[in-house]
Structure 1
Amino acid sequence: MATDVDVFLRRLAQELRPRAHQSADMLLRRMRGELPELWEYEELASLALEETAAHVTAFLDVLENGLDVTLSETPPTAVEVARGFARSGVPVSMLLRAYRLGHVGLLQLAQETAARLTDDWELINAAWMRLMSMGFEYVDRGSEQVVAAYQKERDLLLQRRLMLTNEASTRIGTTLDTARTCQELADVGTEDFADLVTVDLLDSVLRDETAYPSPDAPVLCRIAQQSVLEGCPDSAVATGARHTYPEGSHPARALADRQSLLHRITASDVPAWLAPSEDERHALRVHGFHSALLVPLHARGHTLGLAEFFRHRTAAPFDDDDLLLAQEIASRAAVYIDNARRYTHERSTALTLQRSLLPQRAVEQSAVETASRYLPSGSRAGVGGDWYDVIPLSGARVALVVGDVVGRGLHAAATMGRLRTAVRAFADIDLMPDELLTHLDDVVIRLQREEAQEAGETSATCLYAVYDPVSRLCSLASAGHVLPAVVTPPAAGADAVDSRAVDFPDMPIGPPLGLGGLPFETTQFELPEGSLLALYTDGLIASRTRDVDTARTLLCDILAEASASASAKSAVSPESPESPDEICDRVLAALLPSHPSDDVALLVARTRALDPGQVATLDIPSDAAAVAEARGFASEKLTGWGLEELSFVTELVVSELVTNAIRYGKGPIQLRLILQSTLTCEVSDASSTAPHLRRARTFDEGGRGLLLVAQLTERWGARHNREGKVIWAEQALPAKESAASLV
């Protein structure tokens, strides 16, 4: 009987083989009715007929040739379909159900054919039992192999997703730049996940960094996008363009509801929000867009924008697992984007405040020619509190200041502004450098007491220098600040390069501001005309890649070269020497990378000296009769300078100041007239008592002199020094004389 069954099964296989493809098609129709959800996946549907026909053929080979069914190999197309199920997110249970349905259908087909071949029901029953046994063996064997292929593909998919998540955590947020962070999200998303990624941020968020607007009917800006196709030809919106999504569209709903969406796209129904025009819809059909993930970017409870992931080159559509992965990547990126947005806002605010508190233009003074630079930090630490200043003082002198507040951000910038204002106030009363820093130290200590603990301890460094073009004397003191570089021009007749003199003053550096109770010292030295002073903050020479000594040597070389070239030019040609502006540019180009790690303030000054003919000095005895001599001396000098029209006011000023010095001061007394951009009249004596304005009563014989001086001159004041005090008053020159005095 067994032989008869083998022969009958062979005959049955031969009968079915010519109709194998037709049989497979019939089985597919049955399965389509039972499992319609499988046919939503076009890739799987296209392989289903080929796979079913391969299974029918393989099973017929077993029947016809009497093969051992336990040794049969699953057709390659079946393994590919199993992998496709895994990539598409189809549950493995649905895969096994499809196998069972196919098995039942094939057995029913064989049973119908067997009834047509014989009327021997005993043979048919025996053959049916054999078919049942072999069919179950074939299905079990095939199920094991396709499940293994399914699980392997699923494991690979999960591994790729884990790798993508790790990539996102390491490659997104490498900088605190909003656009760069968005581009990093787009770049990571197109690596083995999506074929096109676009990142839009709410335009209102970009324009107003302090607000999180409602996403209802939003205007978005395309910040970044990336495609597997060169140049993003599959995107209808260009990077940087502003656009909106129609109300009720899928992206608008995702933003309004703050819910991520998985959207299927068919060739017959390309949404208008994705391609507004017919040409754009045609292009998307050509590309084959078939699915999209719309993921709002949330950070700290607010919506910042929308990330969109599309597939067209990848055959498998997005599934729910892909949506979860996209949400994971987007949520991490949103935090980084919000960090970058906040940092950009704070940095922009601090930088704006910083620049507004620094000098906006060079002040008019004749003592030095100056140029300055301020470079904010390029690191994540934020803008610091570096500052510089050039302050005109009485007697044609000028103060050069550079300082650095410890810390970063708005607090440092605001503190810098307060200290710069304090320095200007103290400079206005002509304090010596060490005295000024002592008062500034008290200001910092007071700020420490007034500020909350969470603001951090306020501390700063400062270098204050005063240069007098009459005596060519430079006085300076340092409160914890790096010393300036001083470049004296080569001696006459010496080799310009070999005789260059670049040095740092040999002077004590006082403690940083804010410690209190420790002294500051003023150092004085004479500077030849044309000397260079380079004042800077430590960000200029401090670097992770170069030690401070190397940087200082490089700075000295640049300054010495500039000084030598200036001397050479002046000796052989009338061309102007290298300007402080050019020196600043050369120093920064040589010492700094494109993005310095710390803020940098640089102030370069070239000294000038007043011609002796522009200064007139007269020693005055402590005798009231000397007042007339002083008036005559002043009148004579003004006549020599061609300023006769200033004689009346000048004689009145000289008379009042000299009289006060004789009456209330101590000898020696000296009158000095200085002609520069203004006419300055100074009277010095050895007394520390300072005069002050008062309102004279009706019958008082005196008390009106200083009031007249204040009314008739541009400025007046007093300054104290080690020898006593100086009372001074300035007058504006006539227009033609003012221009000539500056030549």
Structure 2
Amino acid sequence: MWTELVSEQRKRLLAVVGDDLWGIELLRFAIQQAVAELAGLGGMVHLGTPGYGGGLRLAVTSGLPRAFTQQWERIDGTGSLAPARAFRDGAFVRAPMASLADGMPEDGATASWPPDSAEAGSWSWPVGTAMAAVPILGPGGPIGTLSIVTVSPHEPSAGQQAFLDTLGRWAGERLNKSAAPPPGSALTEWQEQPADSQPQDPQAVGTWDWDIRTGDVIWNDAMLTVLGLDQNAFDGRIETWTGAIHPEDLPWVLYDMDEAIRTGRLHSTEYRVCRPDGTSGWVRVRGEMVHDENGEPARMVGTLWNVTKTHDVLQTIIEPPSRNAERASVELASHIRQLTKALAEAVTVRDVVDASADHILPLFGASGLVLAFLEGDHLRPVGSTGYPKEYIDQLARMPASWGLPIAGVLREHTPIFISSLEECIERYPMTADLPVVGGKQAWAFLPLIASGRPVGSCVVSFTDPREFTDEERNLLTALTGLVAQAMERARLYDREHTRAKELQRGLLPRELPSLPAITAAARYLPAGMDMEVGGDWYDVISLSADRVAIVIGDVMGHGVSEAVTMGRLRTAVRTLADLELSPDELLSHLNDLVSELGDDFYATCLYMVYDPTNRSCALGRAGHPPPAVVHPDGSVHFPDADPNSPLGAATPPFDTVEMELPEGSLLVLYTDGLVESSILDIDQGMANLATALSGTISGVLPKHQEHAAASDATKLECAECLESLCDNLISILLPRQGTADDAALLVVRTHALPGEDMASWPLPEHPKAAGEAREHIRAQLSAWDLDELSMTTELLASELVGNVIRHAKGPIHLRLLRSNVLTCEVSDGSLTTPRIRRAAETDEGGRGLQLVAAIAHRWGTRYTGTGKCIWTEQPLRAAVPAPFTEADGLDLLDLFDDE
């Protein structure tokens, strides 16, 4: 019932405001009504292109992202897209569209498809999404189309299709009536004196010759001057001419040109033009058709001249009839145009609230607005204006079951109009104190209904008592239908956007680990509010022997799928890093993973491994900008390394760069969003980064102190300084208004492991090596005051050395490292990887690595340049874990023969 009521109010709205709308605003209003009727996500209006090709040109959009609509700016009139078919057949068409790419079939795509930007390709639509199109009918047939993107898997009902057909005819009729300059903009017949109908200076007349089959136009210099175009930059295309026409005049000008071609009549009109220098003016255009030998239209030739001064003078002396009524009608149409435009551009719920407050309240002279959602038994105000905070808080606490009119309209699906405070108290005595707190005297309580179900309530209130006329009631009901559609779309956007942001935050590190070898700080900055989530990511991974993997990457494009891909890559990197792979091997595996995702997925990545025992750093990158390396003296440089191609497009092997970093060096990793934009190339952006680092580094970082990693206080101070450095770099490099791409920044300060915290010894390739290893360990741990770890460490080393003697080959080395853990390493010259196996009860061996896994906190194997290294880690100051006792340990040690 409510759906039929809204449709009726919508039809009445056409009659009320139709005569006052023209041009772009007429089309914007029409597509708003079409989207509201089908409860769509948004819509587009295309107009037929006069002359060659029979194509369609995008004129108006509503509620759809730019990344989507830019691919629909021109449509081949002979293609299979829904708008093209509706234009050709002159009838309603609906076609499914699984995704943006699927929404542009190959046979209907223009030369601009596929999109150049990854962002456009990242848009995806729910299953069942379709595009419905209906022709805009003029006297001679279709002149354009209304297209609506819907999420319903079902065909529109017969009633909905009938309304769309009516709307298409209505828009065509109104556009036909406005196929002359809008009211007050053109000269009436009695005002056009012969002396004024032609320019006084023949040299100022522009002449043109348009080939309607090819779209080529030949102009003289005078016409270029009138339109403000540079002769050297003029491309001789009809699109350049129509692109200079004022957007509000363009629809009826295109219509008039098309009618002149179709009927052969004189094309004579007057309209506004927008020049490249920002100025505007009025021009008078006359053109006649020239036919070929077969009588078919071939060319249009004519003249154009500037009539701005004449138009301005005449406007000052014209007194239109019924001045007051016309002014009121114009103001009404203006408010509605502005409201429909603002709601079409609204993305978030806050945008809808602002648009409603800015355009509905002045239209009725109202002073207050509340928009609320019904959640369970309570109303949740999502936006208000003209009310004190205590009123909104009290409204939110009241159960809907108390008989509040703002909740009652949702139950009954019927508006409630209250003209005075006394009437409100009489009708709703249980909440009599609420309107007093609000300070209003009259209210219009309106349900927000979208797709036949209530989504919320709208309250328009007035400071003084007020009787609502039938016209005001009808207009308020119809306008809130537009608000409801915009609110539902915005709520869906807010919900999905919040989920996407939460997903992205969950996939990025919650906090960076505190490690002995580095101190790190990071920032992630999403793109502007109108953008989707991105795929920038970073991570810091602890490896064996206090080594650290530092990684940053960027999945190309924006959207939930890119964020999910980012999470998959981050997980894959952590898994591969645990295998102790070199940068080139790790990037090769990542490249295989991204390649398997499909041809449309690409990512860049920078992977570094820092070794604090010798201050070496190995890095590899796949299409990613190089890190900035800041030495302790403040100098900045970027390692000269081959960037390779992005993951998904690269061909291994990947190049690796080795370098040695002085103690206290800084590594600054970043994504391209920090240093590159549409107006800034990456080379200049990297130079800006180097300048920013040089200018801020001395005032942010503490002076170098030997063995700074050993002091917790020093590391805390360093961490705070790195946080400040990140903030300074962001404020210097990124504009305050946001960026078109997300950006990630990871700043790392390196700490070398002091020499007194390292000890290593060569061991003989003989069974007595286990005994020597135990002696070395016992003496070194005593010197380090770690005697409580001596027994377990000796046991671990004995087992590892014994494995080397039995199953590998030399040379054999033992190394101990002391940091926040005690690391024991045994290396040899074999590439055979040890593995744990399940030993049978009668087996004499096979239990050694099970023992190692049970005693050590972590253990593993990594390959080196000369063989492999088996390592174990134990927390410092930790007791020997159960079930092993000291006696158990001594008995186990006795099993090894030192001879």
TM-score (norm 2): 0.56
Name the CA shift for 1:622/1:566 in 2 (closer, same or farther; >3 Å): farther
What's 1:727 paired with?
A: 870
User: How many angstroms apart in 2 are the aligned matches of 1:380 and 1:613?
Assistant: 55
What's 2:628 paired with?
A: 485
Specify the code of the residue in structure 2 equivalent to 1:254: V
User: How many angstroms apart in 2 are the aligned matches of 1:398 and 1:234?
Assistant: 52
User: How many angstroms apart in 2 are the aligned matches of 1:150 and 1:193?
Assistant: 25
What's 2:749 paired with?
A: 606
**Which residue, 631, 637, 655 being the options, matches 2:774?**
631
Specify the code of the residue in structure 2 equivalent to 1:427: A
C-alpha contact (below 8 Å) 2:372/2:383 kept by paired residues: no
Report the Cα offset of residue 358 of structure 1.
Answer: 2.4
Would you tell me which structure has more strand in proportion to its own residues?
Answer: 2
**Which residue, 353, 357, 378 being the options, matches 1:219?**
378
Q: Say yes or no: does 1:437 pair with 2:587.
A: yes
The equivalences for 1:267-286 within 5 A come to 269-270=423-424, 272=426
C-alpha contact (below 8 Å) 1:198/1:226 kept by paired residues: yes
What's 2:330 paired with?
A: 159
What's 2:513 paired with?
A: 363
Specify the code of the residue in structure 2 equivalent to 1:221: R
The superposition leaves residues 581-602 of structure 1 with CA deviations (integer Å, 9 ceiling, x where unpaired) of: 2222222222232644433322
Name the CA shift for 1:332/1:638 in 2 (closer, same or farther; >3 Å): same
**Which residue, 536, 543, 548 being the options, matches 1:398?**
548
Q: Say yes or no: does 1:410 pair with 2:560.
A: yes
C-alpha contact (below 8 Å) 2:421/2:440 kept by paired residues: no
**Which residue, 718, 723, 734 being the options, matches 1:581?**
723
**Which residue, 441, 464, 469 being the options, matches 1:319?**
469
Report the Cα offset of residue 704 of structure 1.
Answer: 2.8
Name the CA shift for 1:616/1:295 in 2 (closer, same or farther; >3 Å): same
Specify the code of the residue in structure 2 equivalent to 1:556: A
Specify the code of the residue in structure 1 equivalent to 2:413: R
C-alpha contact (below 8 Å) 1:483/1:504 kept by paired residues: yes
What's 1:199 paired with?
A: 370
User: How many angstroms apart in 2 are the aligned matches of 1:684 and 1:248?
Assistant: 80
Q: Say yes or no: does 1:538 pair with 2:538.
A: no
Name the CA shift for 1:464/1:297 in 2 (closer, same or farther; >3 Å): same
The superposition leaves residues 249-300 of structure 1 with CA deviations (integer Å, 9 ceiling, x where unpaired) of: 7655532343445x3625763455689777887899x9764xx544322334
Name the CA shift for 1:189/1:658 in 2 (closer, same or farther; >3 Å): same
User: How many angstroms apart in 2 are the aligned matches of 1:235 and 1:638?
Assistant: 68
1:695 is paired with a residue of what secondary structure?
Answer: coil
What's 1:379 paired with?
A: 529
Name the CA shift for 1:422/1:404 in 2 (closer, same or farther; >3 Å): same
What's 1:559 paired with?
A: 693
**Which residue, 793, 809, 814 being the options, matches 1:671?**
814
Q: Bigger radius of gyration, 1 or 2? A: 1
Specify the code of the residue in structure 2 equivalent to 1:559: L
| Aligned-residue CA RMSD (Å) | 3.6
Q: Say yes or no: does 1:715 pair with 2:886.
A: no
C-alpha contact (below 8 Å) 1:695/1:703 kept by paired residues: yes
Report the Cα offset of residue 703 of structure 1.
Answer: 2.8
Report the Cα offset of residue 246 of structure 1.
Answer: 7.1
Report the Cα offset of residue 312 of structure 1.
Answer: 5.8
Q: Say yes or no: does 1:306 pair with 2:463.
A: no
Would you tell me which structure has more helix in proportion to its own residues?
Answer: 1
Name the CA shift for 1:246/1:713 in 2 (closer, same or farther; >3 Å): closer
C-alpha contact (below 8 Å) 1:405/1:461 kept by paired residues: yes
The superposition leaves residues 319-355 of structure 1 with CA deviations (integer Å, 9 ceiling, x where unpaired) of: 3333343344323333332222112111211222222
Specify the code of the residue in structure 2 equivalent to 1:521: D
Name the CA shift for 1:567/1:336 in 2 (closer, same or farther; >3 Å): closer
Report the Cα offset of residue 657 of structure 1.
Answer: 2.2
**Which residue, 681, 689, 696 being the options, matches 2:839?**
696
User: How many angstroms apart in 1 are the aligned matches of 2:805 and 2:733?
Assistant: 56
User: How many angstroms apart in 1 are the aligned matches of 2:440 and 2:843?
Assistant: 100
Name the CA shift for 1:302/1:679 in 2 (closer, same or farther; >3 Å): same
The superposition leaves residues 108-163 of structure 1 with CA deviations (integer Å, 9 ceiling, x where unpaired) of: xxxxxxxxxxxxxxxxxxxxxxxxxxxxxxxxxxxxxxxx9995544333222211
Specify the code of the residue in structure 2 equivalent to 1:582: S
C-alpha contact (below 8 Å) 2:378/2:396 kept by paired residues: no
Q: Which moved more, 1:170-179 or 1:241-250?
A: 241-250
**Which residue, 621, 632, 642 being the options, matches 1:508?**
642
What's 1:187 paired with?
A: 358
Report the Cα offset of residue 699 of structure 1.
Answer: 4.5
User: How many angstroms apart in 2 are the aligned matches of 1:633 and 1:565?
Assistant: 46
What's 2:88 paired with?
A: none
C-alpha contact (below 8 Å) 2:553/2:605 kept by paired residues: yes
The superposition leaves residues 7-52 of structure 1 with CA deviations (integer Å, 9 ceiling, x where unpaired) of: xxxxxxxxxxxxxxxxxxxxxxxxxxxxxxxxxxxxxxxxxxxxxx
Count of aligned residue pairs for this structure pair:
553
C-alpha contact (below 8 Å) 2:606/2:620 kept by paired residues: yes
The superposition leaves residues 477-523 of structure 1 with CA deviations (integer Å, 9 ceiling, x where unpaired) of: 11222222111111xxxxxxxxx321111111232222364432221
Q: Say yes or no: does 1:644 pair with 2:787.
A: yes
Report the Cα offset of residue 419 of structure 1.
Answer: 1.9
User: How many angstroms apart in 2 are the aligned matches of 1:409 and 1:381?
Assistant: 9
User: How many angstroms apart in 1 are the aligned matches of 2:340 and 2:783?
Assistant: 79
Name the CA shift for 1:265/1:644 in 2 (closer, same or farther; >3 Å): closer
User: How many angstroms apart in 1 are the aligned matches of 2:674 and 2:373?
Assistant: 39
Name the CA shift for 1:393/1:185 in 2 (closer, same or farther; >3 Å): same
Name the CA shift for 1:416/1:282 in 2 (closer, same or farther; >3 Å): closer
Report the Cα offset of residue 563 of structure 1.
Answer: 4.0
User: How many angstroms apart in 2 are the aligned matches of 1:466 and 1:666?
Assistant: 28
What's 1:258 paired with?
A: 413
Name the CA shift for 1:193/1:704 in 2 (closer, same or farther; >3 Å): same
Report the Cα offset of residue 643 of structure 1.
Answer: 2.2
Query: Can you give the 5+ residue segments of structure 2 that lack an aligned partner in the other structure?
Result: 1-318, 881-899
2:749 is paired with a residue of what secondary structure?
Answer: strand
Q: Which moved more, 1:179-188 or 1:656-665?
A: 656-665
C-alpha contact (below 8 Å) 2:441/2:465 kept by paired residues: no
What's 1:33 paired with?
A: none
C-alpha contact (below 8 Å) 2:827/2:868 kept by paired residues: yes
User: How many angstroms apart in 2 are the aligned matches of 1:283 and 1:659?
Assistant: 85
User: How many angstroms apart in 1 are the aligned matches of 2:665 and 2:508?
Assistant: 25
Name the CA shift for 1:665/1:531 in 2 (closer, same or farther; >3 Å): same
User: How many angstroms apart in 2 are the aligned matches of 1:246 and 1:727?
Assistant: 70
The superposition leaves residues 193-225 of structure 1 with CA deviations (integer Å, 9 ceiling, x where unpaired) of: 232342322241xxxxxxxx7xxxx63233334
C-alpha contact (below 8 Å) 1:472/1:528 kept by paired residues: yes
User: How many angstroms apart in 2 are the aligned matches of 1:736 and 1:608?
Assistant: 28
User: How many angstroms apart in 2 are the aligned matches of 1:184 and 1:301?
Assistant: 23
What's 1:40 paired with?
A: none
What's 1:295 paired with?
A: 446
Name the CA shift for 1:518/1:379 in 2 (closer, same or farther; >3 Å): farther
Report the Cα offset of residue 472 of structure 1.
Answer: 0.6
What's 1:460 paired with?
A: 603
Specify the code of the residue in structure 1 equivalent to 2:816: L
Name the CA shift for 1:153/1:534 in 2 (closer, same or farther; >3 Å): same
Report the Cα offset of residue 403 of structure 1.
Answer: 2.0
User: How many angstroms apart in 1 are the aligned matches of 2:567 and 2:462?
Assistant: 54
Report the Cα offset of residue 366 of structure 1.
Answer: 0.8
User: How many angstroms apart in 2 are the aligned matches of 1:172 and 1:471?
Assistant: 62
2:460 is paired with a residue of what secondary structure?
Answer: strand
The superposition leaves residues 536-568 of structure 1 with CA deviations (integer Å, 9 ceiling, x where unpaired) of: 222222345655444433322343345434677
Name the CA shift for 1:159/1:727 in 2 (closer, same or farther; >3 Å): same
User: How many angstroms apart in 2 are the aligned matches of 1:595 and 1:471?
Assistant: 41
